Amino acid sequence: MGKTRQNTNNLSYLCILFQKMRRIGFFILLLCLMAQVSFAQEETDEKKKTQVFIEHYDKISYNRNIGDFQRLIGNVKIRHDSAYFFCDSAYFYEKTNSFDAYQNVHIIVNDSVEIFSDSLIYDGNARFAEFFNNVRLMDDSTLLRTEYLTYSRDEHLACYPDSACTTRGDKTLISCIGNYRDDLKELSFFENVEVTSPKYQMYTDTLYYNTEIEKMWFYGPTTLINEENTMEGEHGYYLVNEDIAFFDKKPLAYNKTQRLKAKNIYYDRSTGFAKAIDNVDMIDTTYKMIFRGDYVEVWEKKGFSFATDSAYFINYDGGDSLYLHADTMFFHFKTDLSDMEKMTARRNVRFYRSDLQGKCDTLTYYASDSIICMRGTPIMWAENSQMTGKYIDIKIANQTIDSILQRTNAFIINQDTVEGFNQIKGMDIISKFIDGNIHHVNVIGGNAETIYWLRDDDTSLIGIDVSKSDNMVIEMKDNQISCIKSFKGISETVYPENELPESSRLLQGFKWNIDVKPKNKADIFRNTDAVMPRAETHQNETGNATESAEEEAPKPKHRIKGS
C-alpha cells in the first residue's frame, strides 16, 4: 500500500515537472519568435532608412563652431527617395539624415500630392515631416489649408491638430482636427465640422470623406440643410455627386409645415424621392394630420406619396381627432407637398372618432371639396345610426359632418331607445347633419321604406309604423324619427306591438353590424368582416360578397352639395 502511494506521488511529481518543462519550452520558443520578429523589424527598418540627397543650391556654408550642419541658401532642391523638396534656405544635418527648410517650402510627394508651407522639419529616417505656417496640401482638386501639419510618408497620412479649411470643387469643409490619407483619397474631420456648398450645408462632429468615390460618412449629431428641408441624425452617409442622403440613427427630416422621423430615412434630392422605414411618423401642420406606418415613400416632383405596413392616419384639428387605419395609404399633391389634392386609403379601412366610425375597402378624401368617398362594402356609424350602401359620400364642413349621401341600396338603421330598430331604406339617401346628429333625411330614387317605433314623450310605445312610397322626407329629433312625408305610391300602417310579427319588424336585407363597429382608436387595427344588405333591384349585386376595392365611383358633386 505504501509503495503504491509512493509510486503515485512520484508519478504526480513527474507530471508536474513535465508540465513545467512544457511551459518553459513554450516560453523559450515564444522569446525566440519575438526575437526573430524584432530582428526582422529592425532589418526592415534599416532597409527603409535611405539617405537624403542635396540636389541643388546657390550657396552653401559650414561652420563646426556654430553647429554640425550645412547651411544651404538659394533655390534649394533636396531629394529623398521619390519625394522632392524645394525651399529658399535649409539647414542639412547629415548625421541624423534630416533637414530644416525655410521660406517658400514646397514638397512634391507623388504625382498628385504637393505640400506648401513657410517652414519645414523633416526626418529622413522616420520619413516624417512637420509643416509650419500657411500650410497647403494639394491633391488633384482637393486643397487643405492650415497652420500646422504633420505628414508621414510611410503611412501616407497628413494630420492637423488645430483647425483647417479644405476645399474641393464647390465645397468647403472646416473642422478643428483632421487628417488625410492620400493613398485612400480619404479625409477625416473631427470636432465642429462644417460643410458648405451651393446645394447644402452640413454640421457634424465626425465626418469621413472619400474624394475618389465622392461619399461622406458622418457619425454623431449631424444636420444637413438645403433650400427645401432639413435632415438630422447621428449616423449615415451622403453621396455628393448624386445628392443622396441616408440616416439610420435617430433620423429626422422637416420643413416649415412637415416633419418626418423614422428608424431609417433615405432622400434623393435630385429626383425628389424619399423613403422612410420602421416606426415612421410624419406630421403635416397645414392639414393637421399625422401619418404613421413602417414604410413610407415620397415622390416630391411627382406630387405623390404612400404609406404601408400598419399605415395609420390621424386628423387632430379641433377638439376631436379622427383615427384611420388601412393596409396602404396614397397621397396626391398639386404642386408641392404642402398642397394636398387627395388621400386614398386601401384595403381593410377602419376609422374612429367619438361621433363617427366607419369601415370599407377603399376611402378617398378630396381636400379641395372636403368630401370623403367610401367604396367596397362601406359601413358608417354616426352616433346610434348605422349607414350602408354601395357608395357612401361624406361632406365635411368646419371639421364636422355636413351631409352624407348613400347611393344604391341605401340603408339606415337606428336602435330604438327601448327595443327594436328604426329603419330607413331606399335607392339613394341624403342625410343632413346639425351638430353631428342627423337632422333631415331625403330618400330618393324609388322604393323608399321605413319601420320606426312611435313613442310618447314618456317613451311609452304608441305603435310600430311601417311605410312605403316612391320617395320620402324624414325629419329627425334626438336621433329619432319625428316626422315622415311620403310621395307617390304611399302605403302606411301603424301596428300595435302585439299585432306585428317579429319577422315583419325588419326590412328585407336588414343587417346590424354592431360587432364590426370600431369601439375606440385602438380598435381600428382589428380585422373584421361585415354582412351587407342584399340589393333587390340590381341583378349584379352580390349580397355578402365584398365589392372590389379598386372600384371608384365618380366623385360626388351636385347631389351631396345640393342636399
* CB-CB contact of 496 with 516 (8 Å): no
Residue 543 carries which side chain, given as an amino acid letter?
A: G
> pLDDT 10s digit of each residue in the chain, 563 long?
444 334 433 433 333 333 334 433 433 343 344 444 444 454 444 546 899 999 999 999 987 767 789 999 999 999 999 999 999 999 999 999 999 999 999 999 998 899 999 999 999 999 999 999 999 999 989 999 999 999 999 999 999 999 999 999 999 999 999 999 999 999 999 999 999 999 899 999 999 999 999 999 999 999 999 888 899 999 999 999 999 999 999 999 998 888 899 999 999 988 889 999 999 998 888 878 888 889 999 888 888 888 887 788 888 876 678 899 999 999 888 766 667 788 899 999 999 988 889 999 999 998 878 899 999 999 999 877 899 999 999 998 877 888 999 998 999 998 877 788 988 999 999 989 887 778 889 999 888 999 988 888 777 888 898 989 888 898 877 767 778 888 888 888 889 988 888 888 999 989 999 889 999 999 998 887 766 665 544 333 333 333 333 444 455 543 444 33
**Which H, E and C letters describe 13-48, residue by residue?**
HHHHHHHHHHHHHHHHHHHHHHHHHHHHHHHHHHHH
DSSP state of 286: T
The total number of residues written for the chain in this structure: 563
User: What is the gyration radius of the CA atoms in the chain, in angstroms?
Assistant: 42
**Does residue 481 sit in helix, strand or coil?**
strand
pTM of the model: 0.73
SS3 326: strand
Separation of alpha carbons 222 and 375, rounded Å:
45
User: Three cell numbers at 403?
Assistant: 351631409
Closest CA relative to residue 415, chosen from 503, 499, 513: 513
3-state secondary structure of 530: coil
Residues 227/243, Cβ–Cβ less than 8 Å: no
Output the nine-digit C-alpha cell for 61: 556654408
CA separation for the pair 105, 141 (Å, rounded): 20
Domains and CATH numbers, the chain: 51-142 (2.60.450.10), 366-563 (2.60.450.10)
